[in-house]
Amino acid sequence: MSLLRTLGTVLARRSPLARPSSLAVVKCLSSDAASQQQGAGGPSSLHAKFPGALEASFVTTPKLALPESIEPIPIYRVMNSEGVIDDPSQEPNLEQATVQKMFRDMVLLNTMDKILYESQRQGRISFYMTNFGEEASHIGSAAALSPEDWVYGQYREAGVLVWRGFTISDFINQCYGNAEDQGKGRQMPVHYGSRKLNFVTISSPLGTQIPQAAGAAYAFKLQPNNQRCVITYFGEGAASEGDTHAAFNFAATLDSPVIFFCRNNGFAISTPSREQYRGDGIAGRAAGYGMAALRFDGTDVFATYNATKLAREYVLRENKPIVLEAMAYRIGHHSTSDDSTAYRPAEELEVWNTVEHPIAKLKHYMLRRGWFDEAKENEFVKSVRKQVLSQINQSERILKPDWREMFQDVYAEMPAHLKEQLRAMEEHVEQHREHYPLKDFKQ
């Protein structure tokens, strides 16, 4: 009997039912305890302390969290369509030379786009994507970054490269895939990249660059006295990819100093944004991941500059990510494979191509400051057109890279199986020379 009595005492001590009721109130944040604290049925002063929601309080009545009850994130703007600064305190106070570079880089991009688009239509290159209407989001953001910051682009951020010094010949050689192309002719046109300019080569699969950017930023954070951040660009359509969710969650939980720069231009190819998502755009998703966010007018180069500058300061100071959403309008077709007249009215397009065009806005601002010379700018456009046309003629005559290069640049030292494949290919080409345009390739 003594053994049974001892065992019963031990079990009673281990049982939660045997503990004093006062101790249960202290240790357990049950609904009963919460209601005693709150009294009238409002939020409890006690936090529930569930591992998955540490800051949430108990309530005694259910209340749906409805999306329409959440205030939309406002759109930050500095300059209106007439080039007038809405709030003088937001004037970025850039030097005249910097503003003129912003304007000319946008004009260069716009002019080059027009010619290369027509080049594709003539069958001289296989593919092209223009940047019409989004020039300010490229140039304004690039100007706010350090040249040492890494860029992971999608395929409509050519202006970032223009700002950093990618030349007309660099652009056109890439589009023609010749031996002077830094990518050795391995990519589709407009899939640019530059190690020298810290611009990671663009990939065709949508959204792959976003988690890569989160990882690169995390690696930067681990370096002593880090002063570099990472920015990754993507459209609102790419934000529907699973890669974006993975990137947001990784960056937020690992505290990566990365700027997620979404170009919300209204269309994911032909899918309008109203059919792409139901929530408050892309910036509205940031809070759910525990990230900061800022939405701004992407056709306003100064708003873009200020927003990106603020974002860069934030991610480096706090070692945390941020979501930027540049609101804009894609004036051009999605690509040379698209005809946007099938899904949007010409009247809508006209507004964004005139009154709300980012180049027109900056021109108005420069006119007000006395910084714009019509004759000089017209000469600049002519000189750019001449350079682009001349480079096209030159790039067309440059040979394609040596086809053997397709076996290189994967391993530091070519492994045996690739050496065998290269040898077999050389024998095949030699036996069937008449079927290959070898005269167009470097030997």
Domains defined for the chain, CATH in brackets? 88-396 (3.40.50.970), 403-440 (no CATH)
Type and span of the H or E element at 272: strand 271-272
- Phi first, then psi, for residue 327 (nearest 5°) are -85, 125
pLDDT of residue 54: 84
| Residues 309, 121: Cα–Cα separation, whole Å | 38
Task: With residue 211 as reference, give the H or E element that holds it.
Answer: helix 209-221
pLDDT digits (tens, 9 = 90+) for 82-123: 999 999 999 999 999 999 999 999 999 999 999 999 999 999
Q: Distance (Å, rounded) from C-alpha 369 to C-alpha 379?
A: 21
Using CA atoms, how far residue 246 sits from 234, 240, 269, in Å, is 14, 11, 23
* 335 is an active site residue: yes
Give pLDDT tens digits for 140-184.
999 999 999 999 999 999 999 999 999 999 999 999 999 999 999
Tokens 């080409």, located at residue: 429
pLDDT at 40: 46
3-state DSSP helix/strand/coil % of the chain, to nearest 5: 50, 10, 40
Distance CA 232, CA 291 (A): 15
* Catalytic annotation present for 118: yes
Residue 14 has pLDDT above 60, yes or no: no
Instruction: Determine the Cα–Cα distance for residues 130 and 4; give it in Å rounded to an integer.
Output: 85
Catalytic site residue from 45, 82, 118, 396: 118
Residue 18, pLDDT score = 47
Has residue 282 got a pLDDT over 70?
yes
For this structure, is 334 an active site residue?
yes
Greater confidence (244 vs 43) lies with 244
The residue ranking higher by pLDDT, 50 or 433, is: 433
Residue 38 pLDDT grade (very low, low, confident, very high; cuts 50, 70, 90)? very low
| Type of residue found at 241 | E
For 138-150, write each residue's pLDDT tens digit: 999 999 999 999 9
Q: Looking at the DSSP assignment, which residues form a beta bridge with residue 267?
A: 272
Question: Considering the chain, what percentage of its residues have pLDDT values greater than 70?
Answer: 89
* pLDDT of 2: 53
Q: Which helix (H) or strand (E) holds 288?
A: helix 286-289
Residue 12 has pLDDT above 60, yes or no: no
Beta bridge partners of 323: 260, 293
The band of 5, judged by pLDDT with boundaries at 50, 70 and 90, is low
Tell me the C-alpha distance between 391 and 180, whole Å.
12
Catalytic residue among 137, 334, 356, 357: 334
Distance CA 69, CA 57 (A): 19
- Measured CA to CA in angstroms, residue 86 lies from 40, 83, 293, 405, 438 at distances of 47, 9, 22, 54, 61
- Across 204-229, average pLDDT: 97
Catalytic residue among 204, 337, 383, 390: 204
At residue 258, the pLDDT reads 98
Active-site residue (options: 30, 35, 270, 335): 335
pLDDT digits (tens, 9 = 90+) for 391-437: 999 999 999 999 999 999 989 999 999 999 999 999 999 999 999 99
**Is 146 tagged catalytic?**
no
∠ Cα 249 254 259 (to 5°): 70
